[in-house]
Structures are given as structure tokens and as C-alpha cells.
Structure 1
Amino acid sequence: MALRVNGKVVTPTGVIRQGCVEVDGDRISAVAEYPSVRDGHWILPGFVDIHTHGGGGHTFTTGDADSARAAAAFHLRHGSTTLLASLVSSPFPLMRDATAAYAPLVGEGVLAGIHFEGPYLSAARCGAQNPEFLRDPSTDELTELIELGAGAVRMVTLAPERDGALEAIKLLAGRGVVAAVGHTDATYDQAHAAVAAGASVGTHLFNGMRPVHHREPGPAVALLSAPNVVCELVADGVHLHDGMLAFTTATAGPERTALITDAMAAAGMPDGEYELGGQAVTVADGVARLARDGAIAGSTLTMDAALRHAVGAGIPIADVARMVATTPARAIGLGDRLGALQIGLRADLVVLDDELNVVRVMRGGSWVE
């Protein structure tokens, strides 16, 4: 028996104001106009968050499977039907333990994969990463993690100027793992070399990067101008000015910009004291900062809030839908399975009211409790 969801359906080609999505089992079986619909809710594809460290008081950064399961459940209630568990810079034993702990969750579908943000990052642009764990990329470490994960390791962020980085990028790309450029002091040319070696994502563009300069464009311009690179953006009004959010989206287009949360455990929680990668974090007025130096320490964002912020910044909802689902799904190699309201894709969808608050979430054809 097919299930029908009626409303304003946001497809990759635009909005069907009077539309419906039909679901058969765990797949979308039809997307069509439905003229009898009047003033329905917004229906968007389930959100795909390719960069999040936790939420709801739970974290991905410690390698604890129960905490990871709870963090994923928190974000699912906010519409994220697909997400990567992002770790921060850590000693190799923790990276190995986390891979072993999270691989079964990837097998279950709780997680879409693991994202190692570090430890192969720039000390000069480490942001909230723990400087004591930063080191040059190791192809031996990466090979061990990839083989241990058996498909669970999906993305690694590194700084291309570090010794061995280009070899690591080539290894990752060759093994089907996304190589992302971030927390980097690279020059424009070094960033371009990373893209040529196979890097295909820019980690939270502009944040944790050498700033743009007219005589040395730096990594942000190199990534923004590379036609095969998807640029992550944290749309919370803290990481990026709304003018920069709109500019980047207009420059690269919604097919090359992906909204992320970069959320930490404090997402959805009260202000107070938290921890990230062994460092104390203070959250005040919803903004997370390192206690030691005030550096922005991830966010307290959820994907539904990121969507509302981007729409509020003037980006059309059809474009934002691509930025929260279609583009990130494609960036991590899942675009043929999910990320859009299209026939044959997994039936992941988010129902939003006129204020763009989540009403209901469906994942794989089943409504989330």
C-alpha cells in the first residue's frame, strides 16, 4: 500500500506548490502535482549533514557507540536522516577504536560513515582542534583505518601544505574516501595541488583557513573556483556573515555548496561548560568557544536551523534544499541513493510548517517517532 504525503514539494528542479510524494516501502515511487492540495506543509528531502561532532548532550568525538547512537537520534529529530560522525584531532589509538566502534552503526544505517577532521591539520589554523594531537599525514595510519572500517571511513579533512599530504589525498581518493581541505594555512597553489591530487570538499569554507588576500588568494578562493569541489558552509550567523553566505552560494551555486552544522554535544542543550577533543568549551548565548582562547568551537546548530537561517539570508528555498540534502549527499558519494525527492531514491523526507519548523520526519519510508 503506497503512502502519500501532500504539500509544497521541493524537488531538485523547483517547487511543486500543489504536490505529493508517494512512498512504496522504503522508496519514493512518485513525485507529482496534486491539484486538490491546498496550503499544505513544505516537503523537503531528508537533510544530509556531512560534518557534525554531536548534539543533544552526546558526542561522536570519544568513539563511544552509545553516545554516537544518541547523537544521531537527536539530529534525526531535527530532520537529518543521513549524517557522518565527525571526530576531531585525536591520537591514533582513539581513531582506531572509534572506527571499530562506529563501523557496526554504519552497517545498521544509524550513521552514513565516519569523518576524521584531523589530526593532519595546520597548527597555525587549528581553531578549536587540540594542538597537541596535530601531526603530518600518515598513509600507514589511513590505510589501517580504511581497512578496519571496511567502508565506514567516508571523509578525512587535512591541510595540504603538511608533509605527505598530497600522497595521503591520492590514497584517500583512490580508496573511495573523500579528501577534504580544511584547517589549513595553504597558499592558493598548494590548495590547487590538493584538488589536482583528488580533494573534493572544502571543510567549513573560510573558517580555519588562511584568509583571502588580493595578492595571495589562499585556499578559500582555490576551493571556491574548483568546479569539482563542494564547499561546506556553517549557516549560523556566527561562523559566516550572511553576506558571505549569500556571496559564496551565488558564486559556487547550490550544486557546489553544502550546509553543515559542525555541531558539538551542546547542540540542543542549555548554555554552560562542555568538552571537545579534550578541551574545555564554554557555550554562551548558544555560541560555543574554547575556554582557553575564545576560538569558535564548532556550533550548537541543527540542520533545520541552518535551513531557516539560509532562507532568512535570502537564498531561495529550492536552492537551500539542495544545499542541505542533494549536494552533500553527492559530495559523499550517496547521490544515487538519497538526498532528493526523486523516484527510486530512499524515502527520506522532512515536513516543515510555514515557519520552517520540523513537523514530521520520514526515514526509509517510516515516520520517525
Structure 2
Amino acid sequence: MKEYIGIHYRTGNPVRFKVKNGVILDYSDLTGEKSESLPYIAPGLIDMQINGYGGIDFNTVPVSEESIIKVTSMLWQEGVTSYLPTVITNSDENIEDIVKTIAKVCEENPTVNRCIAGIHVEGPFISLEDEPRGAHQKEYVKRPDWNLFQKWQEAAGGRIKIITLSPEWEGATDFIRKCKEQGVTVSIGHTSSSPEQIQEAVTAGARMSTHLGNGAHLMLPRHPNYLWEQLAHDELWSCMIADGFHLPDSVLKVILRTKQEKAMLVSDAISFSGMEPGEYTTHIGGKVVLTPEGKLHLAENQKLLAGSVQMLKWGIENLVHQDLCSFDEAWEMASVRPARFLNLPQQTGLNEGAPADFIQFIKKENQIHILQTVKDGKSVYQNPV
């Protein structure tokens, strides 16, 4: 049994608790005691959209078992204790192969299995139109196919927990209903759907919006349009990329105010996340630049983003720095709320009887410096500095 003391991320008061068998025990509030030298302590971060990290891409086949293990451990240094590896639009065979590999690692590696809270399949049942389709390859985009999805789910050992699709396709409503019956969350994204189609999707059981405000047309009708429609549906939880590059502060503010407790953060991180600034070549041959400011753009046009590379703690820092919400609210958008949405045990946060998934950190000039990451009561990362 080990004891931990730190400043509670939400209350600002020092707290003490013990950990045994991966569970928080003997939790006590130490209000009134000195806390100047104590680190902060907060629930582990949960990222529902990780495409890759540290030069490893989950969507470039073959994906090795070693690469999944490596990404899982590298994410600990970012405070991420649970995540959903995200498989985007690809050939039917490649998607099957990727989810099968992820499932195999989970079956053989208990630590990775506890960190991977499911698989997020983003596509290929998305819009064919160029702008909302984003970087997804058009040749593989198709209408929702239940038999095909079942084949992927079988290969994944039932681990596909979220699928992003566009409800503009014929048959999408029936597909959504079947997903709901099987406990798979349908998220609306990369869509050019009409308001009526959005409504039908929500009625059928769609529960989330994938990186709302991105994967959309550059020009939309003033109203109605699919962004307003998703904001207006109280049933939909909304994910945001809050890195300061993908969405302007005004849009982040509107989503926060509209969705309130149903606003969540994702990184949507790609393989260049965690790498040093510089010029890189993508697997499809394109040149991209990662700037010292943290922005990834096409080499030939710095106005065009080439993906997301900043992790959840960066999004938390940005929201607080721009005075869009409090620190504890930003943190919960990346931890407790995703856990609640996914119905994970971590949704209880830092409380007696909760899983011992937490991090210790300090804050310097609005930046979060992680000192230690604890998963299932075991220290999986300690800052060497």
C-alpha cells in the first residue's frame, strides 16, 4: 500500500489517500494544511481519438504489435492513462487487419488492455464531398455496411466502441439503430448531412459529434446547417480539438456554453505528435512542417493544417490561457467526462473506491509539467528531470 499527497485539481485543497490493488483507499481532505510544496493531483487523461504518436501511425499498414505497445507507454508521459486508437478510412482489408492487431495486443498484454478503452473507427462511412471528407481517401469512402462492420467487430474481438459516420447515406438510420443495440456509440462527423438527416440520426441513437467544427465545408449556408443542428441537439456530446489552431476561441466558447457538461476534449493526434519541430514527409509523399509554436501545416501552404499534433494537456492549457473556462473544468473535459460518456470506472474521479488512475504535476507559467503517471495503482511514468 502506498500513500499519495497532492493538491486536488478541482478544490485546490491538499488531499491524502492510499492505493491498494489498484484502488484509492482512505481518502481524506487536508484543508488548512500547508500545500506550497505539493504537486497537483488529478484523474488520468482519456483521449478518444489517437491516430498515432511519436512517429508511429496506426493507419499505415502493417501496424506492428510493438508499435501499439510503444505508443501506449509513450502516452503516459502526456498524462494519458486510457485512450481509443483511431482507425480512419482505409481499404476493408486494412481496417480489418489493424483492428485485429490491436485486439491481439490487448489479449496478450494486460497493461495495454487496461489502457485501451476501445477502438474508434473514423470512417469509411463518411461524406464523399471533398471538404467535409478532409484527408480521408475518397476511393475507400462508402455507404454504411452492417455486414462489413460486423466483420471488423469480430476481428476486433468486440472492442470497437465508437464509429464516426455521416448520416447522409441511405440506410444510415438503420445502421445507427443496430449499433445502439450492440452498445457501439455512433458519432456524427465528416458530414454534409441535412438538418433532417441529423435529426433522424439522433432519434436513431447517435450520441456524439466528432471534432465538431472540423471536417466541414469552408462555406456553409447561414442557417440551417449541420453545425448549428448538432449544437442544438442536447442529446449529442461534442468533442473539440482545442489546440488553438483547429478552432478559433469564439467557436470553442460557443461549444462550451452550449454543450456544458457534454463538451469533451480530444487530441485527434497523428504520428507527428510528440516530435520535434521541423519538416517531415508523410507516408503519402507530402511535405509537412511542424512549427515551434506547435502547428502542423502543409509545407507549400502554411494556412492549411496537416493534422493535429498537440495532446490533451495542451488543449487544457489553451482553454485556461484564453480564459474560456476554469482549469478544473478543462481537466474534466479530458478525463472525467470522457469516462462518464464511455461508462468507464474512472468517471468517479479522485474518490475513495475509484480506480487509481491519476497523475501528479506542477504548473509553471500556465504549462502543465507531469511528474508522475499512475495506472491501476502502478507508477508507469516518472519525469526523469
TM-score of the aligned structures, taking structure 1 as reference length: 0.91
Q: In the TM superposition, what is the alpha-carbon distance from 1:132 to its structure 2 partner?
A: 1.9
- Which ranges of structure 1 fall in alignment gaps of 5 or more residues? none
State yes or no: 1:230 paired with 2:242. Answer: no
Amino acid across the alignment from 1:38: S
Amino acid across the alignment from 2:315: A
Does the C-alpha gap of structure 1 residues 337 and 360 become closer, same or farther in structure 2, counting only changes over 3 Å? closer
State yes or no: 1:283 paired with 2:280. Answer: no
1:127 alignment partner in structure 2: 134
1:361 alignment partner in structure 2: 373
Q: In the TM superposition, what is the alpha-carbon distance from 1:342 to its structure 2 partner?
A: 2.3
Does the C-alpha gap of structure 1 residues 236 and 339 become closer, same or farther in structure 2, counting only changes over 3 Å? farther
Q: Secondary structure at the match of 1:354?
A: strand
Q: In the TM superposition, what is the alpha-carbon distance from 1:238 to its structure 2 partner?
A: 0.6
State yes or no: 1:116 paired with 2:124. Answer: no
Q: Secondary structure at the match of 2:349?
A: coil
Amino acid across the alignment from 1:184: T
Report the Cα distance in structure 2 between the residues aligned to 1:19 and 1:243, rounded to whole angstroms: 36
* 30, 35, 39: which one aligns with 1:38: 35
1:344 alignment partner in structure 2: 353
1:8 alignment partner in structure 2: 7
State yes or no: 1:260 paired with 2:266. Answer: yes
Q: 205-214 or 39-48, which moves further after superposition?
A: 205-214
Report the Cα distance in structure 2 between the residues aligned to 1:287 and 1:27, rounded to whole angstroms: 38
Does the C-alpha gap of structure 1 residues 21 and 281 become closer, same or farther in structure 2, counting only changes over 3 Å? farther
State yes or no: 1:215 paired with 2:223. Answer: yes
| Per-residue deviation, residues 253-292 of structure 1 (Å, max 9, x unmatched) | 1x2011111110101113222436x463513313334568
What do you get for the CA RMSD once the two structures are aligned? Answer: 2.1
Q: 18-27 or 231-240, which moves further after superposition?
A: 18-27
Report the Cα distance in structure 2 between the residues aligned to 1:279 and 1:157, rounded to whole angstroms: 26
2:319 alignment partner in structure 1: 310
Amino acid across the alignment from 2:47: D
* 251, 257, 260: which one aligns with 1:244: 251
* 207, 210, 226: which one aligns with 1:203: 210
2:96 alignment partner in structure 1: 96
2:70 alignment partner in structure 1: 70
Q: 198-207 or 345-354, which moves further after superposition?
A: 345-354
Does the C-alpha gap of structure 1 residues 353 and 290 become closer, same or farther in structure 2, counting only changes over 3 Å? same
Size of the aligned set, in residue pairs, is 361
Report the Cα distance in structure 2 between the residues aligned to 1:279 and 1:170, rounded to whole angstroms: 39
2:340 alignment partner in structure 1: 330
Q: Percent identity?
A: 25
Amino acid across the alignment from 1:112: A
2:79 alignment partner in structure 1: 79
Amino acid across the alignment from 2:370: V
| Per-residue deviation, residues 340-359 of structure 1 (Å, max 9, x unmatched) | 21222211111120222211
Report the Cα distance in structure 2 between the residues aligned to 1:303 and 1:284, rounded to whole angstroms: 17
Q: In the TM superposition, what is the alpha-carbon distance from 1:222 to its structure 2 partner?
A: 2.5
Does the C-alpha gap of structure 1 residues 4 and 259 become closer, same or farther in structure 2, counting only changes over 3 Å? same
- Checking the alignment, whether the CA contact within 8 Å between 1:16 and 1:33 is kept in structure 2 is no
Q: In the TM superposition, what is the alpha-carbon distance from 1:324 to its structure 2 partner?
A: 0.6
| Per-residue deviation, residues 230-273 of structure 1 (Å, max 9, x unmatched) | 111001111011222122112211x2011111110101113222
Does the C-alpha gap of structure 1 residues 47 and 212 become closer, same or farther in structure 2, counting only changes over 3 Å? farther
- Checking the alignment, whether the CA contact within 8 Å between 2:127 and 2:191 is kept in structure 1 is yes
Report the Cα distance in structure 2 between the residues aligned to 1:167 and 1:104, rounded to whole angstroms: 30
Amino acid across the alignment from 2:77: R
Amino acid across the alignment from 2:21: G
TM-score of the aligned structures, taking structure 2 as reference length: 0.87
Does the C-alpha gap of structure 1 residues 164 and 279 become closer, same or farther in structure 2, counting only changes over 3 Å? farther
Q: Secondary structure at the match of 2:319?
A: helix
2:14 alignment partner in structure 1: 18
Report the Cα distance in structure 2 between the residues aligned to 1:338 and 1:64, rounded to whole angstroms: 31
Question: Which is greater in Rg?
Answer: 2
- Checking the alignment, whether the CA contact within 8 Å between 2:346 and 2:357 is kept in structure 1 is no
